Copies of this chain bind each other. A is one copy, B any other.
Amino acid sequence: MVTIKDVARVAGVSTSTVSRVVRKQGKVGKVCRAKVQKVIDELGYRPNINAQALVSKKSNSLGVVIPLVSMPFFGTLACGAEEATKENHYRVLISNAYGSEKAELDAIDSLVQHRCGAIVFHSMHCSDDTLCDLAEKIPGLVFVNRLIAKIAHRCVWLDNNMGAQEATKHLVSNGHTNIAIVSRKNINPDAQVRLDGVRTAISNAGLQLDNTLIGYGTTADLAGGKEGVSALLDAGKKFTAILAYNDNMAVGIVHELHSRGIRVPQDISVVGFDDLLISVACIPELTTMHYPVREMAHYAANLAIELSDNESSSGKTHLFMPHLIERDSVSNVSTL
């Protein structure tokens, strides 16, 4: 591999000069610059980023820690972060941290070894305290989809409560009064926050949430959706609409209903959350809350990069809002 020395030797200049033309900074004579550039091209010289990182003490790489890239939600998150990376001449180091706090911590540690100062982290299994400790050690660490009061300015989060309220209001305004919920067993705080939002919206509407109308799925996927709605149905519960924790569960619900001969939305309406591709693959297409993950991750990546080289913690927080996407899985029952 050709090094800066090779270029310097062939061009008959010092390595400092080569370094200057490579980074396009510092004064270099016009002819000298041209000569050096020519040699660079001829030799196909590419600066060694590891060496640059070593000496300049910054790696210009962004770490992205998520449960699993293959899950569309997280793939989209990674994509958003990657976009920001291109604007800043950064690269992205990605790490799947699936299933445990240890996996997440290991991923962060690996990034630290890389002297990767900017990190976007979607944690699933770490406690607020653990995250605070981490944040203290790593100035460029930013959390996505999580709000921790003490380090709110490092959190890029979605108003899940309002989102759930919005979804609920949509159902109420379509005449639904018997609303069921299919959620998932708690892992991170999302599910609980959304449940609170539903509760608020329902009581605001002068109704009250029937706690026996909550079905739980073990996992937040199709199977979990089927499981949750089956529990409700098998218990003989009656309702005209279901609020699902996310699109995957919603699709599972639609399938389960379909296999039982229950029509969506004629017999039961279903609302999802996330607005992933899957919501539009389903028949009927899902009415759902749009979760702007890509934009959030993009924003978070920029924030992480900024924080990592000047510790200006502006103290402000970073809140995004989901919004309703109306499609075909909700019917109006008010005129019945």
Residues of chain A at the chain B interface (Cβ within 8 Å): 1, 46-51, 53-54, 59, 61, 68-72, 74-76, 78-79, 82, 91-96, 109-110, 112-115, 222, 251, 254-255, 258, 277-278, 280-283, 294
* Contact, CB under 8 Å: A281 / B112: no
A293 to B, closest residue via Cβ: B70
A47 to B, closest residue via Cβ: B113
Q: Which residues of B contact A114 (CB under 8 A)?
A: 49-50, 91
A111 to B, closest residue via Cβ: B91
Instruction: Please measure, in the bound complex, the distance between the C-alpha atom of A109 and the C-alpha atom of B78, giving whole angstroms.
Output: 21
* Contact, CB under 8 Å: B294 / A70: yes
Instruction: Please measure, in the bound complex, the distance between the C-alpha atom of A71 and the C-alpha atom of B82, giving whole angstroms.
Output: 14
Q: Which residues of B contact A91 (CB under 8 A)?
A: 93, 95, 110, 114
Q: Which residues of B contact A49 (CB under 8 A)?
A: 113-115
Q: Which residues of B contact A294 (CB under 8 A)?
A: 70
Partner of A70, one of B51, B72, B94, B281: B72
Q: Which residues of B contact A74 (CB under 8 A)?
A: 75
Interface centre among A50, A51, A96 (most CB of B within 10 A): A50
Task: Determine how close the nearest CB of chain B comes to the CB of A141; give it in whole angstroms.
Answer: 15
Interface centre among A70, A74, A110, A222 (most CB of B within 10 A): A70
Q: Which residues of B contact A61 (CB under 8 A)?
A: 93
Task: Determine how close the nearest CB of chain B comes to the CB of A274; give it in whole angstroms.
Answer: 13
Instruction: Please measure, in the bound complex, the distance between the C-alpha atom of A280 and the C-alpha atom of B223, giving whole angstroms.
Output: 11
Instruction: Please measure, in the bound complex, the distance between the C-alpha atom of A95 and the C-alpha atom of B92, giving whole angstroms.
Output: 7
A103 to B, closest residue via Cβ: B86
Task: Determine how close the nearest CB of chain B comes to the CB of A118; give it in whole angstroms.
Answer: 14
Given contacts A49-B115, A54-B54, 5 further A-B contacts (CB under 8 A): A46-B109, A49-B113, A50-B54, A91-B114, A93-B94
* Contact, CB under 8 Å: A75 / B82: no
Q: Which residues of B contact A70 (CB under 8 A)?
A: 72, 75-76, 78-79, 294
* Contact, CB under 8 Å: A78 / B50: no
Q: Which residues of B contact A53 (CB under 8 A)?
A: 50
* Contact, CB under 8 Å: B72 / A68: no
Task: Determine how close the nearest CB of chain B comes to the CB of A178; give it in whole angstroms.
Answer: 25
Decide: A69 near B59, CB < 8 A? Known: A1-B115, A282-B281, A283-B254: no
Task: Determine how close the nearest CB of chain B comes to the CB of A64; give it in whole angstroms.
Answer: 8
Partner of A281, one of B1, B51, B92, B251: B251
Q: Which residues of B contact A51 (CB under 8 A)?
A: 50, 54
Q: Which residues of B contact A115 (CB under 8 A)?
A: 1, 48-50
Q: Which residues of B contact A79 (CB under 8 A)?
A: 68-70, 96
Interface centre among A94, A109, A278 (most CB of B within 10 A): A94
The 5 closest A-B pairs by CB, nearest first: A75-B75, A70-B79, A50-B53, A70-B75, A70-B76
Instruction: Please measure, in the bound complex, the distance between the C-alpha atom of A78 and the C-alpha atom of B278, giving whole angstroms.
Output: 20
Interface centre among A61, A69, A294 (most CB of B within 10 A): A69
